[in-house]
Structure 1
Amino acid sequence: MISVFPETSGQFLINGEWKKTQDVANVINPAKATEVVGEVALCSETDVTKAIDAAEQAYKVWSRTSVEERAERMKEASQKLSRVIEQHVSLFVRENGKTIVEAKKDLLRCVEVMSKGADNLMEWWKPEPVEGQAQKVQIRKRPRGVTAVISPWNSPMILTFKRAIPAILAGNSVVIKPATYCPLTVISCLKEIEASFPPGVINVVTGSGSVVGEALCNDTRVRTIAFTGSTETGKQIMSQSANSVKKLYMELGGNDPALILDDAVLDEDAIKRIRMGILRASGQVCSAIKRIYVHKSRYDELIDKLKKEFDRVVVGNGIQPDATMGPINNQTQYKFVTELLERTKQSAAKVETAGRKLDAASWDEGYFMLPSIVTNISHDSELVKTEQFGPIIPVLPFTDLDEAVEMANDTEFGLRASVWTANEDTAIAIADRLEAGAVFHNNHTVFKDLRLDFPGIKESGLSRETRWGSLELFTDSYGFAD
């Protein structure tokens, strides 16, 4: 079955001109694997070089554009995008697998990133005086140059816009590489806004990481790379970028622990927050809860309540309003998660599958999985040690809080964590000991204020927290003194 393709199918953008190539790959609907949603262009190394050429030339003009004009153009672009959000929801669901609610929320947050980023720019750009010096000193800011934005398939819209928009606002030009599995909505939305900026400020190239990604990393004119994706790919990008000194911003993999203490409030709202922390986007979230450590005195209660909450989950095609969880995004990830679950079942662990199928007749047509709770599992098991990136959650009891913290930290990852307790002081004391870029109290979610960004530590990321919508990540500061 082939549907009508979106206008941007198979297109890429260089210097304000939308182009096509004969070398393309299909973009598949994960809820119906026989449906081709559109095509993605497989750009060549030459295409990437031309995109960087265009970005380099555009930077010379855009970097000298006043902050007032940059903010005004971004406001205009945000208004353009806000007017077409509704017409992009269906496309996003069909290529990504999110539910309608999840997809629309991501798209609206992209508009918010643009409008609030423009609002922040003027205040943030002001020179900062350094007090108490023997001479008059200011800290001033300037853009860095060509910026590469390499985004993932799990949340491609928000994780593209949260990197590209502040880079543009700060005066940089960008070359964006969307994920091959899920590029169409990103490209279509960029087509809505790119004309608000001079040609070459926004460029889009698509294709494999081994060609497009490597070419972006190798080019010495690329001064900054913003990447969201797996830790292994992040390491490859670091290696490929080593021929020049680039600024790297990376949000990488996670194996987030949730610690549930003996005094935790496990009412209906709390259990719903835990479920959302696990199953948002079918568990395909870097900062989802990947393992739970619960005090032994609350273990049976949590398992019982979590089972009942999981049983309310309706898995199906995200385009159907009754679906509360969609499919796994692609065949490769589906194979990984299902095989991991099968190996877990063959061990001594107890796997209990919950939820219901929205449409049993079409179940095998997509990459659908019901959510599973795993108990009687050891801390050293594959499921606990691996970033499963799917709707499976291992739950382990503890009696000693120090041991629980030690187990929570016993991973190469350090993206997010959460502490569930009635005592905020206790939560803060534990948070100080947890090795994570951010710790939530009685929740495991995202920051509601999109200006806030807290990359992970250890192998979960590079760069540090920002309170200005990531504007800091795409600039250099310099001292001006008399």
Structure 2
Amino acid sequence: MISTYPNVSGKYLIDGKWIEAEKTSKIMNPADVTEVVGEVALCTLEDVDHAITAAEVAYKLWSKSDINERASKMKAAALEIRAIVEENVPVLVRENGKVLVEAKKDLLRCVDIMNEAAAELLNWWQPEILPGSQKVQIRRRPRGVTAIISPWNSPMILTFKRVIPAILAGNSVVVKPATNCPLTIMTFLKVVASYFPKGVVNVITGSGSVIGDALCTDPRIRTIAFVGSTETGKEIMKAAASNVKNIYMELGGNDAAIVLEDANLDDELITKLRYGILRAAGQVCSAVKRVYVHESKYDELVEKLRKKFQYIRVGNGIQPDVEMGPLNNKAQYDYVTGLIDRSEQSGATVITGGIQIDPEGWADGYFIAPTIITGAAQNSEIVQTEQFGPVIPILQFSTHEEAIQLANDSNFGLRASVWSENEELAIEFADQLEAGAVFINNHTVFQDLHLDFPGLKESGISRETRHCSLEFFADTFGFAN
């Protein structure tokens, strides 16, 4: 079945023009791999150079623009995008695999990002006077051409949280969406680009090894904003070192949830924990990837979570009653199913649940049932790696010291959570956990879009936590008189 393609299908954007690509690749629906959702352009190195050149020319003028003009244009673009949210929800579901509720929430958050960052710009841009005997100001200025490389798991939010502040700060951008699901983000960026001078927003697609390498080594690129795997992030750091680019990265996670002995394992807690694990079929960097529970609550937690998993409705996200969709692509599907198989072969117990919606169609999609793993060792693959799927290992601990040691026994440090009736005790735990952010009695995201807490260790770079990420895309300098 071939569906009607979105009007950005097979195209890319350079210097205000949407160009038909000579070579394209099909984008398949992960819930039904017989359905072609659209095409993605396979850009060349010449296209990359053209895009950077256009962005460099645009930057020279856009960087001098008035901040009120920038904010006004962004708010106007937000109004138009809000008007097309509903019609684009099904496209995101079909190219990404999210369920309808999750897809709509992601698109609405893009509108929120645009409005809130535009409002924050007016406060953030003002010079900051430092105390002291000499009058010293901290002033801000845009940095230059910015490369934004986006992932396939949450393409909308994770692209807009970089593109929008980069533009508002006075930079021009070259955006490379993931080839698995670029259509909705390109549709939205088409609207954004129409409100700004040509060349401020450029979008190229294709092979990461070709386009990504070219973006990361080109000396005209001054900032790289990347969201993706830690291994790819390491390669980007190597490439960017050649001309000392600024790097802003959100990388992998292996988030630990610690359930203490005083936690009340009622339906509210189990529901929140379940959502923290299975949101977007577990394909979220900041999803719960490991659960450590006190030995006195271990059996109770496993049983209650098993029952909660049992009733998750799994299927094609385009159906309104589906709660969890497929994995996004075959490579990820093969990895997660292999991880489950290897865990069972090593002696762990695999507990699957879920209700299959349209079980006859499962063979045509990358569906995996919600899965609990018990009996796995701390040094096992399922515990030490980032699963990025609907599978969760549950381990037990005896002492608080052991819980902290186990949770910190990871190369990652993105998020963590502590589940306890004692807030003071939970805060004591939080102070000892190696994570960019710790939640108490929940494992979610920050609702306030002004906030952004990158991870520790191999989970990310950059520590600015305010101003809608505007600070990541500007330089500061001192001015004294």
What CA deviation, in whole Å up to 9, does each residue of 1:28-58 have, x standing for no partner?
1000011110000010011011100010010
Kept after mapping to 1: 8 A contact 2:55/2:201 = yes
- Matched residues in 2 for 1:363 and 1:210: separation? 32
Alpha-carbon distance, 1:471 to partner: 0.4
Q: Deviation per CA, 1:141-163: give whole Å up to 9, x if none.
A: 00000000000000000000000
3-state DSSP of counterpart to 1:323: coil
The Cα of 1:423 is off from its aligned counterpart by: 1.0
Could you tell me which residue of structure 2 aligns to residue 28 of structure 1?
A: 28
- What is the distance in 2 between the residues matched to 1:297 and 1:135? 61
TM-score w.r.t. structure 2 length?
A: 0.99
C-alpha displacement of 1:21:
1.3
Q: How many residues align?
A: 481
2:342 counterpart residue number: 343
Q: Does 1:462 align with 2:452?
A: no
The residue number in structure 2 matching 1:366 is 365
Q: TM-score, normalised by structure 1?
A: 0.99
Secondary structure at 2:445 match in 1: coil
Q: Give a deviation string over 1:239-278, Cα, whole Å, max 9, x none.
A: 1112101100000000000000001122111111000000
Deviation of 1:466 after TM superposition, in Å, equals 1.7
Distance 1:322 1:359 in 2: 12
Amino acid at match of 2:381: E
* 1:403 shift after superposition: 1.0
Map 1:71-220 → 2, pairs under 5 A: 71-132=71-132, 134-220=133-219
CA offsets, 1:408-464, max 9 Å, x none? Answer: 111110000000011111111111110000000000000000110000010000000
2:292 aligned partner: 293
Q: Distance in 2 between matches of 1:382 and 1:242?
A: 32
Task: Please give the root-mean-square deviation of Cα atoms over the aligned residues, in Å.
Answer: 0.7
2:280 maps to 1:284: no
**Equivalent residue for 1:226?**
225
Whether 2:443 is the aligned partner of 1:444: answer: yes
SS of the residue 1:470 aligns to:
helix
Any gaps of 5 or more consecutive residues in structure 2? none
| Separation (CA, whole Å) in 2 of partners of 1:236 and 1:199 | 31
- What residue in structure 1 maps to residue 256 of structure 2? 257
Q: In the TM superposition, what is the alpha-carbon distance from 1:92 to its structure 2 partner?
A: 0.2
- Report the secondary structure of 2:77's partner residue: helix
Listed one character per residue, the Cα deviations across residues 163-202 of structure 1 (whole Å, up to 9, x for unaligned) are: 0100000000000000011101111111122110000000
Q: Which runs of 4+ in 1 moved over 4 A?
A: none
- Once the two structures are superposed, residues 80-113 of structure 1 have per-residue CA deviations (whole angstroms, 9 ceiling, x without a partner) of 1001000100000000000000000000000000
Q: Give the secondary structure class of the aligned counterpart of 1:275.
A: helix
Distance in 2, matches of 1:394 and 1:290, equals 7
The 2-side partners of 1:425 and 1:166 are apart by 36
Deviations 1:327-357 (A, max 9, x none): 0000010000011111111121111101110
- Give 1:401 deviation, angstroms: 1.1
Q: Secondary structure at the match of 1:432?
A: helix
Q: Which residue of 1 aligns with 2:15?
A: 15
Aligned to 1:50: 50
Hey, what does 1:307 align to over in structure 2? 306
Offset at residue 465 of structure 1 (A): 3.4
How far residue 2 of structure 1 moved from its aligned partner, in angstroms, is 1.3
- State the partner residue of 2:479: 480
**In the aligned structure 2, how far is the partner of 1:143 from the partner of 1:465?**
16
Q: Determine the C-alpha separation between the residues in 1 that align with 2:369 and 2:240.
A: 40
Question: Relative to structure 2, which stretch is displaced further, 277-286 or 377-386?
Answer: 377-386
Question: Any conservation in 1 of the 2:464–2:472 contact (CA below 8 Å)?
Answer: no
AA matched with 1:61: L
Q: CA deviation at 1:220?
A: 0.4
State the match for 1:329 in structure 2: 328
Residue by residue, what CA displacement relative to the aligned partner does 1:195-242 show, whole Å, maximum 9, x if unpaired? 100000000000111111111001001000000000000011111112
> Which consecutive unaligned segments of at least 5 residues does structure 1 have?
none
